[in-house]
A and B are shown apart, each in its own frame.
Chain A
Amino acid sequence: MTQLDRRDFLAAGGATAFLCTLGGQTFKVSSAADVARIDAAAAALPRPGQVTRGDPVDRMQFRTPGPQPGGRTREYWIGARTVTWDVAPSGKDEWMGRRVPSRRRRRLRAYVYQEWSAGFANPIRPARIPGPTLHAEVGYVLVIHFSNLDRKLKQAVTLHSHGVRYNPEYDGAYYGDFTRAGGFVAPGDEFTYVWEATPDSVGAWPYHDHGPNHTLNTLRGLFGAVIVREKGAPVPDVERVLFLHSFPPQVTGGDSLFQCVNGRSYAGNTPTIRARSGQRVALHVIGMDQNFHTFHIHGHRWQDSGGAFVDCPTLGPNETMTASFVEDNPGRWLYHCHVAPHMDSGMAGWYLVES
Chain B
Amino acid sequence: MSADLTEKLWDQNPDALIAISPQGSVLYWNPAATTIFGYSRSEAMGQALLELVVPIDRIDDELRSQAEALRLGVTVYEGVRRRKDGSLVHVSVSTKAVCSHDAKLEYFLFNKKDVTHLKVLRDAKLVEARFRDLLESTPDAIVMVNVTGRIVLVNSQSEKMFGHSRSELLGQPVEVLLPNRFRNAHLAHRGGYFQQPRTRTMGAGLELYGLRKGGTEFPVEISLSPITTEEGTMVMSAIRDITDRKRLEQTLRDKNLELENAALAKDRFFASMSHELRTPLNSIIGFTGTLLMKLPGPLTEDQDKQLRIVQTGARHLLSLINDMLDLARLGAGKLDLNLETVDCNSVVEEVVSSLRPAAEKKNLHLEMRLPEPPATLHTDRRALSQIIINLAGNAIKFTEHGSVCLQLEQTRSAGRKTVTFRIEDTGPGIALAEQARLFEPFSRVDAADRRALEGTGLGLHLSRKLAEQLAGTITFHSEYGKGSTFTLELSEE
A binds B: no
